[in-house]
C-alpha cells in the first residue's frame, strides 16, 4: 500500500495550514482538509486508521501534538 499526500517543498500547501487564505478559514482557522490518496490497497484490508502528529510542537507545549486521527471502514 502507498499513501500519497501532495506537498510543496516537503510541507502541506499553504491553503491547508495556518497560512490559509481567508476563503479557506473558519473563525481564523484552516477548514479545508488536504487530499490523501491510498494506492494499491489489498482487497484483504478491512479498515485504515491514520494519525497526524506534530513533533515540532514539543518545544512549544512539551509533547507531540495530535492534530487529528481518523479511521475508515
Residue of 2, 3, 1, 24 whose CA lies nearest to 13: 24
Cα 70-67-51 angle, rounded to 5 deg: 40
Q: According to the model, what pLDDT value does residue 73 have?
A: 63
Q: How do beta strands 37-39 and 2-4 pair?
A: antiparallel
Same-domain status, 15 and 25: yes
Domain hosting 64: range is 42-73
* Cell matching residue 5: 499526500
Q: What is the pLDDT of residues 24-52, one digit of tens each?
A: 899 988 888 888 899 999 999 999 888 88
Q: According to the model, what pLDDT value does residue 63 have?
A: 93
Same-domain status, 1 and 32: yes
Q: According to the model, what pLDDT value does residue 39 have?
A: 93
Q: What is the pTM of this model?
A: 0.61
Query: Total structural domains in the chain?
Result: 2
69: left (phi over 0), alpha (psi -120 to 50) or beta: beta
Same-domain status, 28 and 55: no
Same-domain status, 67 and 33: no
Amino acid at each position: 500500500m502507498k499513501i500519497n499526500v501532495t506537498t510543496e517543498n516537503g510541507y502541506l500547501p499553504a491553503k491547508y495550514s495556518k497560512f490559509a487564505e481567508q476563503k479557506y478559514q473558519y473563525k481564523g482557522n484552516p477548514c479545508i482538509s488536504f487530499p490523501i490518496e491510498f494506492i494499491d490497497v489489498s482487497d484483504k484490508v478491512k479498515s485504515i486508521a491514520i494519525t497526524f502528529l506534530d513533533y515540532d510542537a514539543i518545544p512549544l507545549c512539551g509533547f507531540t501534538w495530535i492534530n487529528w486521527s481518523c479511521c475508515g471502514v
